[in-house]
Amino acid sequence: MGRYFQEEIERAPLEKIREWQNEKLLRQVKHVWDNVPYYRNKMIEAGVTVEDIKSLDDLHKLPFLTKADLKAAYPYGLLAVPLRDCVRIQSTSGTTGKRVVAFYTQEDIDMWEDCTARAIVAAGGTNEDVCQVSYGYGLFTGGPGLDGGSHKVGCLTIPTSSGNTERQIMFIMDLSATILCCTPSYAAYLGETMREMGYGPDDIPLKIGIFGAEAWSEEMRRDIEKTLGIKAYDIYGLTEISGPGVSFECEEQRGMHINEDHFIAEIINPETGEVLPEGTQGELVFTSLDKKAFPLLRYRTRDICTLTREKCSCGRTHVRMTKPKGRSDDMLIIRGVNVFPSQIETVLMNNGYAANYQIIVGRVNNTDTLDVKVEMTSDMFTDNVGEIQARKKVLEDGMRSMLGIKAKVTLVAPKSIARSEGKAVRVIDNRKI
């Protein structure tokens, strides 16, 4: 196997990519128009019909989809094929507790797995490799996505899923795993643990890391590479569009190639929705060209980044995106999990508390921490220490089940959370990314 999983596609000249995109877009818009009344109505409201989309140049006429649309259309409103054609869902957290549910046909899964296979090969993986997938398996796209790609490449796949660090390390060492797929914070944690156990980079058989689903800095990359003795590659994706592998890093480690034969990327001004020229920073918008079951057109990712078509020495011609530099909404990514302040607010309200809270995100030993300060009120205050601790635990349990990750609740004095111009400062992110 060479350096490409699908060389003809990955090295196709720009004209060829445009030709594919043009043809697929027209087909996809028709598919959506015919089968998704929710989006058809959005188009009609925007004064566009399927006849108005004659080529790629008309893309900008289509209305955007946002997370709010996913919530409004939950669960089946954006499904474009009969249920008998669907074989799986994946799911991620939504804005106010409603989860995003994305549907897949077998072809959709095949396409997605091609994308992750491209990422593995771009990182240097071959069928000689032993690939340990330590992303969570289940509703989260990380595990299933990389698992499928690993099979396509022909790696021996170790589906450890997340957690149980001791067992992870046992498999890495005993089966001589050469590729590790997980979140960068978990990779850092594994590295630290292995170092404490006395394993140096030369003792660890790993060569390649494919890490994504959360933000990480170049400094963190160098740390992980040094501790584990590997080269670490970024991978990007989102459940709404398919999952990890929408874009991935090549050996250059300078930006992630977007699989443009499957997805059209645009950069827009998040305020006005206007499409921005290449090289300008703005919000990333994806149109999925091949997805049959859940074909989102012009989906706003809320990730802020820049695209470049500068020639890449790896030979791939597909456009590269920078690591997301932030969000145009208030979503936080904590330990690879999407967290919205509104979810925390929902838990507080459900338990009879006022929405006076502050979220403090930090990073200790390369692992994210989530602290939620909640204002004590005279109504909820009791003289009984055990009862207050029990109430605190109810909140922590509620947040855990709403967010899927652990949050530490700290009770603070009434009206002690800083308010600026009458509005509380809800989120303090102390991570240096």
Partner 1 sequence: MSVKQVSVFLENKPGTLDALTKVLADHRINIRALSLADTNDFGIVRMLVDDVYEATNVLKEENFAATFTPVLIYKISDETGSLQKLLQRFTEANVNIEYMYAFAGKKDAYMIFRVTDTKAAEARLVSKGLRSLTDEELAEV
**Which stretches of the chain bind partner 1, using CB under 8 A?**
376-378, 380-385, 388-389, 410-416
Residue with smaller CB distance to partner 1, 89 or 376: 376
Q: How far is the CB of 335 from partner 1 (least distance, A)?
A: 22
List, as one string, the DSSP characters of 53-84: --SGGGGGGSPPB-HHHHHHTTTTTT--S-GG
Residue 413: burial class (beta carbons within 10 Å; 0-12, 13-18, 19+): exposed
Encoded tokens for 18:
């445009």
Q: How far is the CB of 400 from partner 1 (least distance, A)?
A: 18
Q: How far is the CB of 422 from partner 1 (least distance, A)?
A: 16
- Measured CA to CA in angstroms, residue 429 lies from 221, 333, 367, 370, 412 at distances of 20, 11, 13, 9, 19
384 contacts: CB under 8 Å, gap ≥ 6: none
Q: How far is the CB of 412 from partner 1 (least distance, A)?
A: 5
Residue with smaller CB distance to partner 1, 364 or 413: 413
CA distance 286 to 246: 10
User: Which residue(s) pair with 385 in the sheet?
Assistant: none
Q: How far is the CB of 343 from partner 1 (least distance, A)?
A: 23
Q: How far is the CB of 419 from partner 1 (least distance, A)?
A: 12
Q: How far is the CB of 384 from partner 1 (least distance, A)?
A: 7
CA distance 245 to 250: 12
Q: How far is the CB of 391 from partner 1 (least distance, A)?
A: 12
User: Which residue(s) pair with 247 in the sheet?
Assistant: 236, 258
Residue with smaller CB distance to partner 1, 368 or 375: 375
Encoded tokens for 285:
């918008």
Start-to-end C-alpha separation, the chain: 35
CA distance 224 to 171: 19
Residue with smaller CB distance to partner 1, 31 or 373: 373
- Radius of gyration of the CA atoms of the chain, in A: 22
User: Which residue(s) pair with 372 in the sheet?
Assistant: 359, 409
Residue with smaller CB distance to partner 1, 216 or 353: 353
List, as one string, the DSSP characters of 17-30: HHHHHHHHHHHHHH
Residue with smaller CB distance to partner 1, 279 or 414: 414
Residue with smaller CB distance to partner 1, 34 or 387: 387
Residue with smaller CB distance to partner 1, 83 or 413: 413
What is the b/e burial string over 311-331, where b = at least 16 CB atoms within 10 angstroms of the residue's CB?
ebebebbbbbbbbbeebbeeb
Q: How far is the CB of 415 from partner 1 (least distance, A)?
A: 5
CA distance 262 to 145: 16
Encoded tokens for 51:
């006849």
Q: At what angle do helices 37-45 and 14-35 cross, to 10 degrees?
A: 100
The amino acid present at 425, given as its one-letter code, is V
Residue with smaller CB distance to partner 1, 138 or 414: 414
Residue with smaller CB distance to partner 1, 165 or 377: 377
Q: How far is the CB of 383 from partner 1 (least distance, A)?
A: 4
Q: How far is the CB of 411 from partner 1 (least distance, A)?
A: 5
Which one, of 288, 326, 289, 287, lies nearest residue 306 by Cα? 326
Residue with smaller CB distance to partner 1, 156 or 412: 412
Residue with smaller CB distance to partner 1, 224 or 359: 359
Q: How far is the CB of 387 from partner 1 (least distance, A)?
A: 11
Which one, of 415, 378, 316, 414, lies nearest residue 6 by Cα? 316
